Structure 1
Amino acid sequence: MSSFYTLMIPSLILLTILRTTLFVGAKIPAIIVFGDSSVDSGNNNGISTLLKSNFAPYGRDFYGGKPTGRFSNGRIPPDFISEAYGLRPFVPAYLDPMFNISDFVTGVCFASAGTGYDEATSQVLSVIPLSKEIEYFKEYQQKLKAYVGNQRATSIISESLYLVSIGTNDFLENYYLLPNRRSQYNIDQYQNFLAGIAEGFIRTLYDLGARKISYGGLPPMGCLPLERTTNAIIGGQGAACIESYNNVALNFNGKLSGLIGKLNKELPGVTIVFANPYYALYDMIAKPSIYGFETVAVACCSTGLVEMSYMCDQYNPFTCADANKFVFWDSFHPTDKTNRIVSYGLYNEILKHVFPN
């Protein structure tokens, strides 16, 4: 996987980052997470929404075999990144009543499944908008200061690694599904609209003390099992990926990469890496046997064609016995094994060099 992640940062930006941070020697005290279902560790459990996964068979390969609200059979990327840095092997959700500020000192997740950059996206399934995730982060900072003191809290906030993964829902659950945004923007204009929100979000994180950010892009969203199924039903093309969606993902990732290069120059003391999952995930889809996978076009859960959330419950008789043979757990989300490969690839290729522990 040595070539996948080097494609994610323009070489000059990466060289600058390495020169300025490799020898700092700062320890990563915590992992702080923002985004959507790709990184939500259970916040949707605490809100009124239909988009939940806190029931079997979700979590069957997590610790204790229990569902947590993660959209996977096991762990999600922040969990693996946290473990790689020698922290807790999972990042708790901020709204999980089982955890409190003493648990959040070494990591906390504010992400909400189904959300996006666009506030209209979060309204589709009544989930937490990105702006509210920021409000929770502000609240967390106050609790942290009260718990560990201002000086240590300030150090934790500035030295922590911030993981951000968001954007897929804006396209698949909003722009391509509902008419409103399509009537306002063509696809390139909508990408620019989202990129503008992304810039404002990063600047807000910076103003709130974040200095080390791993910023995710879009996956090959046209290859998700749900989109392959849609393609087969509408276009009669079997289980083929929707290449137009993949091209949108690549184009938007290019915009994000340019934005990150700009902000690295403009924001003093910040280091942002573009931790784009596209190429690593696409390689697994294109060459599954190399990674020990057998199935990519359908997911493990149920028929693997369209099911997600409550359609993937314990009463469905078709769920696969071994999720390790599948790239995708449900029609939208990767398996624990896929998450592990992507996460450790990211850590080994970029994060441990740019943000050493």
Structure 2
Amino acid sequence: MAFHSIALIFIFQFQQILGIDAKISSIIVFGDSSVDSGNNNFIPTISRSDFVPYGRDFEGGRPTGRFSNGRIATDFISEAFGLKPTVPAYLDPAYTIEDFVSGVSFASAGTGFDSATSTVLSVIPLWQELEYYKEYKGRLEDYLGNKKAKKILTEALYIISMGTNDFLENYYVLPIRYFEFSPNDYQKFLVDIARSFITDIYHLGARKISLTGLPPMGCLPLQRTLQGGNCEAMYNHVAMEFNKKLKALVETLNDELSGIQLVFSNPYHVFSKIIQDPRSFGFQTAVTACCGTGTFEMGYQCNEFTPFTCTDANQYVFWDSFHPTEKTNFILADYAVKTSLAIFK
């Protein structure tokens, strides 16, 4: 089936199922490759995906810097709330402040809550994402005037999605944090950073905020390859424990910060169901990814010369060894909008 037909079916089903009337002015995104719509294209890093076959099922069949064959979850969430079908990357010079009125992503693939994580692949640290937001806020005020800009920023939905890289790219790979913190203490360290970040954007005007938990990161194809095809139970346990701490943080900040609507979006359980029983969701497999052998390829290892890349990404839960396909992103977005984000309808 052609991309445009699939996309139209997705859009129609999404809008029919959700029936959402927009009460959100904009989608403002912070995070990692799960929500980076192309910022890494414009920084010197190897953590990029601005080449084929990435984006082959995106409109026009072009790579955008999204780590997927097509759109990512925040794109679908934006469309579900009656906004644009894609959320543009802040650093992309093709867009202007006019384009960013209804949505913008400051996310950077490879980053995390911990600034040490961003240094691994020389990507944008979370504190810099915040600085870009402050810059954006000033530009929006200049463009619309303070009153209208304040209204948009207050009624925007802020999505925060990161954390996987802190563990899989940083803590368990590099020795510094591993010897500095126990797994439990490192989780607390990251939660404290999340607390500070949410408090910062709250004081800058954010009121509607979604904090996204970790997926079953031990079941990513790369981790399964390292485990002989099985999920890495320890990593999944860490993800579940970290999610509990994030949920507790959300409850605490809702009590502490007047007027905030902070929700915890937990993809772990629905993602686990997809991985455990992919056929019930219309997939063939979750063990291997579409690109290449499906066991280790991602980023520059997933390129136009990679042999064996699948012909139909809709049959695969994962696009590369670390990231979901567009179809999986759609399912995860659908779940989030019908559950944790339903408060913002």
Same fold (TM over 0.5): yes
Contact 2:295 2:321 in 1 (8 A): yes
Amino acid at match of 1:160: A
Mapped pair 1:83 → 2:79: yes
Mapped pair 1:194 → 2:190: yes
Correspondence for 1:17 = none
In the alignment, the residues of structure 2 paired with residue 320 and residue 169 of structure 1 have an alpha-carbon distance, to the nearest angstrom, of 26
Correspondence for 2:325 = 335
Mapped pair 1:126 → 2:122: yes
In the alignment, the residues of structure 2 paired with residue 211 and residue 280 of structure 1 have an alpha-carbon distance, to the nearest angstrom, of 27
Contact 1:294 1:326 in 2 (8 A): yes
Matches for 1:248-267 after TM superposition, within 5 Å:
248-267=238-257
C-alpha distance after superposition, 1:149-205 (max 9, x if no partner): 110000011100001100000000000011111111111111111111111111011
Correspondence for 2:283 = 293
Q: What is the Cα deviation at residue 257 of structure 1? A: 0.3
Contact 2:24 2:155 in 1 (8 A): yes
Q: What is the Cα deviation at residue 52 of structure 1? A: 0.3
Mapped pair 1:153 → 2:149: yes
C-alpha distance after superposition, 1:240-269 (max 9, x if no partner): 000110000000000000010000011000
In the alignment, the residues of structure 2 paired with residue 26 and residue 126 of structure 1 have an alpha-carbon distance, to the nearest angstrom, of 37
Q: What is the Cα deviation at residue 27 of structure 1? A: 2.2
In the alignment, the residues of structure 1 paired with residue 110 and residue 241 of structure 2 have an alpha-carbon distance, to the nearest angstrom, of 22
Mapped pair 1:280 → 2:270: yes
- TM superposition score normalised by structure 2: 0.93
Give secondary structure in 2 for the equivalent of 1:273.
strand
Contact 2:22 2:81 in 1 (8 A): no
Contact 2:36 2:65 in 1 (8 A): yes
Give secondary structure in 2 for the equivalent of 1:108.
strand
Q: 1:104 aligns with which of 100, 106, 122?
A: 100
Q: What is the Cα deviation at residue 214 of structure 1? A: 1.1
C-alpha distance after superposition, 1:8-42 (max 9, x if no partner): xxxxxxxxxxxxxxxxx982110000000000000
Mapped pair 1:162 → 2:158: yes
Contact 1:53 1:69 in 2 (8 A): yes
In the alignment, the residues of structure 1 paired with residue 134 and residue 332 of structure 2 have an alpha-carbon distance, to the nearest angstrom, of 30
In the alignment, the residues of structure 1 paired with residue 79 and residue 218 of structure 2 have an alpha-carbon distance, to the nearest angstrom, of 30
Contact 1:26 1:159 in 2 (8 A): no
In the alignment, the residues of structure 2 paired with residue 214 and residue 200 of structure 1 have an alpha-carbon distance, to the nearest angstrom, of 15
Give secondary structure in 2 for the equivalent of 1:32.
strand
Amino acid at match of 2:296: V
In the alignment, the residues of structure 2 paired with residue 345 and residue 188 of structure 1 have an alpha-carbon distance, to the nearest angstrom, of 29
Amino acid at match of 1:165: S
Q: Specify which structure has the bigger relative contact order, considering alpha-carbon pairs within 8 angstroms and separated by 6 or more residues.
A: 1
Correspondence for 2:202 = 206
Mapped pair 1:312 → 2:302: yes
Give secondary structure in 1 for the equivalent of 2:98.
helix
Amino acid at match of 2:81: Y
Contact 2:31 2:161 in 1 (8 A): yes
Correspondence for 2:343 = 354
Q: What is the Cα deviation at residue 350 of structure 1? A: 3.2
Give secondary structure in 1 for the equivalent of 2:99.
helix
In the alignment, the residues of structure 2 paired with residue 95 and residue 318 of structure 1 have an alpha-carbon distance, to the nearest angstrom, of 33
Runs of 4+ in 1 over 6 A off after TM superposition: none
C-alpha distance after superposition, 1:57-115 (max 9, x if no partner): 00001111100000000000110000001110000000011101010000000000000
Contact 2:264 2:340 in 1 (8 A): no
Aligned residues: 325
Contact 2:106 2:132 in 1 (8 A): yes
Correspondence for 1:66 = 62
Q: What is the Cα deviation at residue 348 of structure 1? A: 1.9
Correspondence for 1:14 = none
Mapped pair 1:38 → 2:34: yes
In the alignment, the residues of structure 2 paired with residue 262 and residue 324 of structure 1 have an alpha-carbon distance, to the nearest angstrom, of 39
CA RMSD of aligned residues (A): 0.9
- Report percent identity of matched pairs: 59
Structure 2, gaps ≥5 residues long: 1-20
In the alignment, the residues of structure 2 paired with residue 163 and residue 335 of structure 1 have an alpha-carbon distance, to the nearest angstrom, of 20
Give secondary structure in 2 for the equivalent of 1:102.
coil
Give secondary structure in 1 for the equivalent of 2:54.
coil
- TM superposition score normalised by structure 1: 0.90
Mapped pair 1:344 → 2:334: yes
Matches for 1:7-46 after TM superposition, within 5 Å:
27-46=23-42
